[in-house]
Structure 1
Amino acid sequence: MNLMKKYVLASILMFILILSGCGGDPVQDDLLNYVNEQMPKLADDETEIVGKYADVTGMNYTDDYTLYDALKLEIIPEYNAFISDLEAVEIETDELRKIHEDYIEAANIQASAFLQIVTAIENQDSAIINEANEKLNTARKMMRDYKSDVEKLAKEHDVKLEKK
């Protein structure tokens, strides 16, 4: 799914924070810890899981059974574990915590869409697929907003973001 691949590439989780000044700012310290220590493995995990979804959708779609099997056996269980890990991230400052909570909400919407796709396949109901696709679109927008919010917070606290 081309849009899903674009979402993954655009994800803030592909960024590394580089300190542009000296300490003393708790938000700055929290941002550095968040992106450099806590989020890199989660970024890799999410990229891998979403890649599995892209491998069975869009141009790569072969049949409902393959998509259903991938969702039930791999994608949904792995994405649920990813969300648990995401929820376990420790954040010290309210400013970053709010942004991270928005990311968790987006991930939960995406997980819900995956479950809806399973239900749609089980019931052979294209209306449910349409609802799931709307949820995926909503989650992607929220991920873009998350990225923008992290970038804005970084700028406000003299932290420079650089891509890997």
Structure 2
Amino acid sequence: MKNILAIMGVLALSFCFLCQVPAVWASSDKDAFVDYSKSISGIADLESKSMDKYNECRQKAKENTLSDASFATTLEKDIVPTYSQFVFKLKKIKTPNVELGSLHKFYIEGANSQLTGLRMMIDALKKSDIGKVKQANKFLEVGTSKIETWSSTYDTIKKKYGF
């Protein structure tokens, strides 16, 4: 009888422990998300600064208040170096679990596509080659789409953890 009670006690304790494990996993996943968010926040200003400048130049070019040569120079000397620094730091961010790893991969793919588009745009503007401009814009569109997917998925995960 003592053996049966001992076994039941062990089973009860085991059950209690197993009930606690998902809470521990959820907590560590939540902590991982917080750490990931902090890493992204630490480099977000580089992305914002470069893309805001790009959009400003693009608008001025549409309004014919900025020449292609000036746009190319700004891309070459300001926008691309800043965005390159952002992509470099983005690639250095470590993700502690599969969910964040998959999410982060999308961000990197989008950022790489945008960087390719920005670099192509320099050459396209210097040569006034509309075909290359369209090609560069395609890379920028693909990058934007992937980053928007990253952003909406990030927001979903954020809500999942109660933020």
2: CA distance, partners of 1:121 / 1:148: 32
- The answer to whether the 8 A contact 1:106-1:143 is kept is yes
Q: 1:42 matched to which residue of 2?
A: 43
Residue 97 (1) aligns with residue 101 (2): yes
Larger proportion of helix: 2
Distance 1:46 1:23, change over 3 A: farther
1: CA distance, partners of 2:24 / 2:51: 36
Q: 1:66 matched to which residue of 2?
A: 70
- The answer to whether the 8 A contact 2:46-2:85 is kept is no
Q: 2:55 matched to which residue of 1?
A: 54
The alignment partner of 2:162 has SS state of strand
Q: 1:31 matched to which residue of 2?
A: 33
- The answer to whether the 8 A contact 1:76-1:114 is kept is yes
Residue identity in the other structure for 1:57 = R
- The answer to whether the 8 A contact 1:27-1:96 is kept is no
The alignment partner of 2:112 has SS state of helix
Distance 1:23 1:33, change over 3 A: farther
Normalised by the size of structure 1, how large is the TM-score? 0.76
- Cα RMSD (Å): 1.6
Distance 1:116 1:31, change over 3 A: same
Unaligned runs of 5+ in 2: 1-22
The alignment partner of 1:55 has SS state of helix
Q: Deviations over 1:73-130 (max 9, x none)?
A: 1111111111110011121111101110110110000000011111112322101101
Aligned residue runs from structure 1 range 1-16, under 5 A? none
Normalised by the size of structure 2, how large is the TM-score? 0.77
Residue identity in the other structure for 1:147 = S
Larger Rg: 2
Q: 1:125 matched to which residue of 2?
A: 129
- The answer to whether the 8 A contact 2:68-2:128 is kept is no
Residue identity in the other structure for 1:142 = K
Residue identity in the other structure for 2:115 = A
- The answer to whether the 8 A contact 1:27-1:95 is kept is no
The alignment partner of 2:57 has SS state of coil
Q: 1:3 matched to which residue of 2?
A: none
- The answer to whether the 8 A contact 1:34-1:91 is kept is yes
Which stretches of structure 1, 4 residues or longer, exceed 6 Å deviation after superposition? none
Q: Tell which has more relative contact order, 1 or 2 (C-alpha 8 A, sep 6+).
A: 1
